[in-house]
Chains A and B, each alone.
Chain A
């Protein structure tokens, strides 16, 4: 069973700054089946990145994903006020299709 560990748990930054979120898998992911989601309070998750680095439809290019194997990163190049939310990574290449525990991105 693959376990995903996200770090940091909470990230405090200001609008305009760069955010770097990490997701580490306990085993190498097949074919980089790694996705990133954003969730705001009271809302459903929103797909940002799939296949480790492909942006989903309508996602601004300030969001980028990178990594392979066991180490993955979500980068938000320049934070906008609407980017402050909780971010989850998910592996979908094997069962169980686990999510990480989330990183809360808060306004400093």
Chain B
């Protein structure tokens, strides 16, 4: 079964840091571009970051550029999002998602995790 499972969310103070992980199974992880998408409470979806299959290409939304770092461990089938200088507006459910087709950087997202919740509050 193709599956993505996020972890690492929790409560963090403003200005703090957190690392999210996304464990992939059931497919050849190293062949796919991966994404982080977030959803603030009661709001819509925002593409936060993406990374190419070999890790050589990355994308960041302007709202997180310079504060978040995406990475992947293809030998561990795991995607990461290191989040720093967290703000109240970063509070959201964070989903990891897989690109639809292998090796494509620009693609829709067809497999999603269940999400992990990040709460930023003092």
Contact = CB atoms under 8 A, between A and B. Distances in A.
Interface of A: 33, 35, 37, 39, 44-47, 50-51, 56-57, 88, 90, 92-93, 95-102
Given A45-B109, A47-B108, 17 more contacts: A33-B106, A35-B108, A37-B45, A44-B95, A44-B112, A44-B114, A45-B45, A45-B95, A46-B112, A47-B110, A56-B100, A90-B45, A92-B106, A96-B47, A97-B47, A101-B44, A102-B45
Interface residues of B, number: 20
A45 B47 CA distance: 13
Contact of A50 (B44, B100, B115): B100
A92 B108 contact: yes
A61 to B, nearest CB: 18
Nearest to B99: A92
A90 B112 contact: no
Given A90-B45, A96-B47, A98-B47, A44 B106 contact: no
Contacts of A33: 106
B61 A96 contact: yes
Interface in B67-122: 95, 100, 106-110, 112-115
10 contacts: A35-B109, A56-B110, A88-B44, A90-B108, A92-B106, A96-B47, A96-B62, A99-B44, A99-B45, A100-B44
Contacts of B47: 90, 96-99
